Amino acid sequence: MAIKPLNLGVSDLQENLNLALNSSSAIGCHVVNIGAEDLKEGRQHLVLGLLWQVIKIGLFADIELSRNEALMALLRDGESLEDLMKLSPEELLLRWANFHLEEAGCSKINNFSSDIKDSKAYYNILNQVAPKGDEEGIPPIAIDVSGLREKDDVQRAEMMLQQADRLGCRQFVMPTDVVRGNPKLNLAFVANLFNKYPALKKPENVDIDWSSIEGETREERTFRNWMNSLGVNPRVNHLYVDIDDALVIFQLYEKIKVPVDWDKVNKPPYSKLGSNMKKLENCNYAVELGKKEAKFSLVGIAGQDLHSGNRKLTLALLWQLMRRYTLNILEDLGDGRKVTDDTIVCWVNDALTQAGKPTISSFKDASISSSMPVLDLIDSIQPGSIRYDLLKTEDLTEDEKLNNAKYAISMARKMGARVYALPEDLVEVNPKMVMTVFACLMARGMKRA
């Protein structure tokens, strides 16, 4: 178990806070300006900001085409699949709400703040999505809309929420939150309602290539979470669609100390006529910066590949950005001395040897599949931190390997390492992600030295 229970000492509390922050970062929360001390001291705006990010990521996880193909029902005339995929979860939720309001013959809304204050839109949405008894095994739930006649806004909101409660969807808002139009809490209320009662049917007889709606790979999710944790704007919801104008790439270049001439960058809003050309110009400049300034290996990569979302070539650029970002942290700690993969392997092996632990040959070493080299390194940096009695070290099944890996990732984050890799990356010995794990641990070790 990586989380320490109550009655904590100072060091245990620090470790728990580190684990919370670094785990939040790993799922894409922007925590650059938040430290363990901020949480410990209860700095309200920072704590609430982080909590909102965590809640939002959880609520929005399934508001995505690859996880819910019925969202295709929200396509409008003349729109393509790509148009729908470009919508953020917030925009999809608004479109979903308006889809049901339109079905009910009611006026549309433009937001989840001022337009929902009277609760009338909510009443109509609840009435539309509540089970009607036409699906086997799901009993009908009749929504009482008599509260629409209530004159008092707060009382009307309370009566509406009582109906939402019948669907098990009262969470996140109080009547006053509705009446005041609190945008975050109302967005959470609607997202929860969508997750439980989407009331959408996947359209039939529509000429759509369903195979093009692929779920995110583990690698894609890791890169997207890394970018979002650095606070890029706009937030990346769909990896290839949201970076097709290279604006996020330029921000990442600045994070790795590659200067960007923003006078050369086309910025939104783009005019409908010529928008693709403006975005392509940005992507061409992004590739040029990568080759000339960052000195990346971008053989065969052109701006068109970024703009069109070529998976293999886009991921090649993103990996080099993430790798450089990681190495820059080590170089800053080492007074600017150049760091390579060999530098990291040598540092890791020195630390392991000094602690009397087995070493590794490279980031492809088969022993990494058990996570023992990672756990041994953590114990070398912070002696006594690893509970070896919880681990199985020989003849491991795949499940046992995964359990070890989960423990290793949690313990790395607990000691303050901002690890983005996932347990599966260790089990499968993904050399790219393995490198980032050891690099992050090296950074922690250098700080402690």
Under DSSP, the state recorded for 216 is: P
pLDDT at 67: 87
Residue 97 included in any domain: yes
pLDDT band at 135 (very low <50, low <70, confident <90, very high): confident
- Report the number of distinct structural domains present in the chain: 4
* % of the chain at pLDDT higher than 70: 96
| 1 has a pLDDT exceeding 60 | no
Q: Is the pLDDT of residue 203 over 90?
A: no
Type of residue numbered 122: Y
Would you say residue 32 lies in a domain? yes
Interval 261-289 mean pLDDT: 96
| Peptide bond before residue 431 is cis, with ω within 30 degrees of 0 | no
Q: Which of 301, 332, 363 is the last residue of a domain?
A: 332
Reply yes or no on whether the pLDDT at 437 is more than 60. yes
In Å, the largest CA–CA distance within the chain is 76
**169 and 134 housed in the same domain:** yes
What gap in Å lies between CA 315 and CA 311, rounded to an integer? 6
Select from 100, 40, 84 the least CA-distant residue to 241. 84
What is the per-residue pLDDT across 385-402, written as a single tens digit (0 to 9) for each? 999 998 988 899 999 999
The predicted model gives 34-43 an average pLDDT of: 94
Examine the domain organization and report whether 324 and 360 are in the same domain.
no
Check: CB of residue 131 under 8 Å from CB of residue 141: yes
Mean pLDDT of 222-233: 97
Res 423: pLDDT: 97
Q: How far apart are CA 185 and CA 215, in angstroms?
A: 28
> Helix (H, G, I), strand (E, B), or coil: what is residue 136?
coil
pTM: 0.90
pLDDT band at 432 (very low <50, low <70, confident <90, very high): very high
Mean pLDDT of 179-201: 97
Is residue 250 located within the same domain as residue 130? Answer: no
Per-residue pLDDT band for 74 (boundaries 50, 70, 90) equals very high
> 258 falls in which pLDDT band (50, 70, 90)?
very high
Task: Work out the average pLDDT over 60-88.
Answer: 89
Is the model's pLDDT at 365 over the cut of 90? Answer: yes
Extract the tokens encoding 208.
């759509």
pLDDT score recorded for residue 4: 56
pLDDT (0 to 100) of residue 211: 62
- Distance CA(400)–CA(251), nearest Å, equals 40
- From residue 390, alpha-carbon distances to 151, 241, 370, 393, 402 in Å are 62, 43, 13, 10, 13
pLDDT of residue 100: 98
Where among 269, 303, 332 does a domain terminate? 332
Closest CA to 246 of 289, 214, 184, 291: 289
For residue 69, name the pLDDT band (cuts at 50, 70, 90): confident
Which candidate, 161, 194, 193, 190, places its Cα nearest to that of 175?
161
Q: What tokens does 126 get?
A: 């609840």
Position of tokens 């029902």?
73
Q: Assign 221 a pLDDT band (cuts: 50, 70, 90).
A: very high
Looking at residue 248, its pLDDT comes to 98
Query: Do 315 and 355 sit in the same domain of this protein?
Result: no
Average pLDDT, the chain: 94
Q: How far apart are CA 125 and CA 129, in angstroms?
A: 6
Is the confidence at residue 434, as pLDDT, over 90? yes
Instruction: Look at 8 and 111; give whichever has higher pLDDT.
Output: 111
Burial class (CB in 10 A: 0-12, 13-18, 19+), 344: buried
Residue at which a domain ends, from 332, 362, 378: 332
What's 367's DSSP letter? G
Residue 159 lies in a domain: yes
C-alpha dihedral, 235 to 239 to 241 to 244, nearest 10°: 90
Q: Does pLDDT of 3 surpass 70?
A: no
Judge whether 322 and 436 are in contact, CB under 8 Å: yes
pLDDT at 5: 60
Q: Are 170 and 277 members of one domain?
A: no
Question: Domain limits at 380?
Answer: 341-447
Flag whether pLDDT at 129 surpasses 80. Answer: yes
Examine the pLDDT at 153 and tell me if it is beyond 90: yes
**Residue 165 is assigned to a structural domain of this protein:** yes
pLDDT digits (tens, 9 = 90+) for 161-174: 999 999 999 999 99
- Evaluate whether residue 207 is within a structural domain: no
> Is the domain of 71 the same as that of 181?
yes
Mean pLDDT, residues 146-162: 98
pLDDT at 359 over 90: yes
Shared-domain flag, residues 159 and 278: no
> pLDDT grade, residue 6 (50/70/90)?
low
**Per-residue tokens: 145:** 């809309």
264 shares its domain with 327: yes
Q: What is the CATH number of the domain that holds 115?
A: 1.10.418.10
Neighbours of 51 (CB within 10 A): 12
**Do 408 and 319 share a structural domain?**
no
Tokens (6 digits) for 102: 């339109």
Burial of 81: CB neighbours in 10 Å, binned 0-12, 13-18, 19+: middle
For tokens 């409660």, the residue is 165
Which pLDDT score is estimated for 9?
78
Which of the two residues, 157 and 32, has the higher pLDDT score? 157
**Chain centroid to CA 253:** 20
Same domain, 183 and 73: yes
- CA atoms of 175 and 187, how far apart (whole Å): 14
Higher per-residue confidence, 83 vs 165: 165
